[in-house]
Amino acid sequence: MGTVRVSIIIPAYNVEKYINTCIDSILAQTYADFEVVVVDDGSTDATGKILDDYARLDSRVTVIHKENAGVSAARNTGIKEAVGEFILFFDGDDFVEPYAIEELVYTINEKDVDTVIYGYHSYRDGKVTETCIPVFNEGLYENEAIIPMLLSRFVGISADGINRWISGDKNGLYVENPALWRCMVRADLIQHNNLTFDTRLKIGEDTVFISDLLSCAKRCYVTHKCFYYLVYRESSAIANYEKNAAAKLDGKLRLLTSRSELTDRIILRSGVDITPYWQGTVVMSALELAFLFSKKSNSNATFRKRYNFYLQYAKQEKVINAVRLFKPRAKPGIKLIPLMMLKLRWHLAIFLCFSVLNMINYEFSRSGK
């Protein structure tokens, strides 16, 4: 097999404690014909200097320094700079197996596909805490099968998923991790379709991009092999986001717009309306935000202000439509009550009920309990 150049795009922001492990794991690959395009997104720690040292030692490492503009803008910069036939998107605080690129290049060539989706390990405190293989069956997915079988599991929760959750299915609200570091993709698929990351998004940019990407693909291969190590850290963007109600509201409003635009693009591209695959996410997000803002410790604002924050999302036209189209098909149960209240637009009643639940330290769980 002849070598094929691979571009590895890495956005890096204040990862001085992790970037060495990440870059070292790439430079130790058994496959040598690659470039590493690292975009230093305005780091204020030693990240930039560490990257410059790598670039001086190894010509395959290119470092681009820019003002901080977020991970989406950094990745877009990396895409413009990349020259490889295949692209991998890694994060600067993670690392990979030494044989990752060699096996992925072999697979994408041998299967003659546009992209390969693979598994990963969750890594915390120096050890693997979970091994996550793709939820999909291993094998080839082609043409019309890609959207209902692959894209649908990445883009969000369906109304059917909510009904399964109400009925006790612990996987009813499961969404496959849409992180871009779990797939290798042909560069021309991105280039020919002018795919870019939505720079308006502060969270969920991978969801939109991987869905866009899969809607353009003709042949995808899923392997249950795990090549990537996702390193957990308390200061990560997602960890901070999960704790901040105001940030979550802003992120969900932006993602609502971006998902709608994504849906329009895919309808034009393939004639398929993917709305049913993600409308359940909108419904559950309304309840999640009600729960978050009804918790007084999440904000110093008054009850009325916190309630109005929740209404900013609940009264969005797209949210109202998603709630209206949701048809409960599960047997009546306690989890159905807030959903029915949402359908009846009993927003204040929902907020008051969730305030009480927060007072008794109730923890919401997606596990079906």
pLDDT at position 59, please?
95
Are residues 342 and 287 in contact, defined by beta-carbon separation less than 8 angstroms? yes
pLDDT at position 4, please?
64
Q: Are residues 252 and 303 in the same domain?
A: yes
Q: Are residues 104 and 195 in the same domain?
A: yes
- C-alpha distances in Å from residue 140, one per residue of 41, 107, 190, 287: 36, 11, 20, 37
pLDDT at position 331, please?
79
Domain boundary (238, 265, 281) is at 238
Is residue 207 domain-resident? Answer: yes
Rounded Cα distance between 118 and 363, Å, is 32
Rounded Cα distance between 289 and 245, Å, is 7
The SS3 of residue 120 is: strand
What is the domain extent for residue 302?
A: 244-359
Is residue 140 domain-resident? Answer: no
pLDDT at position 296, please?
81
Closest CA to 117 of 209, 19, 227: 227
Are residues 81 and 88 in contact, defined by beta-carbon separation less than 8 angstroms? no
Is residue 343 domain-resident? Answer: yes
The answer to pTM > 0.85 is yes
Q: Are residues 75 and 221 in the same domain?
A: yes
Domain boundary (207, 238, 269) is at 238
Is residue 161 domain-resident? Answer: no
Q: Are residues 251 and 203 in the same domain?
A: no
Are residues 230 and 105 in contact, defined by beta-carbon separation less than 8 angstroms? no
pLDDT at position 367, please?
47
| Bridge partner list, 194 | none
Are residues 316 and 322 in contact, defined by beta-carbon separation less than 8 angstroms? no
Q: Are residues 52 and 113 in the same domain?
A: yes
Q: Are residues 207 and 58 in the same domain?
A: yes
| Residue 330 CB neighbour total at 10 angstroms | 17
Rounded Cα distance between 42 and 65, Å, is 7
pLDDT at position 268, please?
97
pLDDT at position 369, please?
37
pLDDT at position 254, please?
97
Q: Are residues 36 and 100 in the same domain?
A: yes
Rounded Cα distance between 29 and 181, Å, is 16
Is residue 32 domain-resident? Answer: yes
| DSSP calls for 42-69 | S-SSSHHHHHHHHHHH-TTEEEEEE---
- Give the CATH number of the domain where residue 196 resides: 3.90.550.10
Q: Are residues 233 and 352 in the same domain?
A: no
Regions in the chain scoring below 50 on pLDDT = 1-2, 367-369
Torsion angles phi and psi, residue 196, rounded to 5: -140, 160
Tell me: the pLDDT tens digits for 53-71?
A: 999 999 999 999 999 999 9
Q: Are residues 299 and 181 in the same domain?
A: no
Is residue 365 domain-resident? Answer: no
Number of structural domains found in the chain: 2
Q: Are residues 98 and 230 in the same domain?
A: yes
Is residue 95 domain-resident? Answer: yes
pLDDT at position 106, please?
97
Rounded Cα distance between 78 and 285, Å, is 32
Are residues 187 and 89 in contact, defined by beta-carbon separation less than 8 angstroms? no
Q: Are residues 223 and 315 in the same domain?
A: no
Is residue 47 domain-resident? Answer: yes
Q: Are residues 38 and 180 in the same domain?
A: yes
pLDDT at position 368, please?
40
Identify the H or E element spanning 87: strand 86-89
- C-alpha distances in Å from residue 172, one per residue of 97, 138, 161, 290, 318: 32, 21, 4, 21, 22
For β-strands 115-124 and 183-186, DSSP reports them as: antiparallel
pLDDT at position 220, please?
98
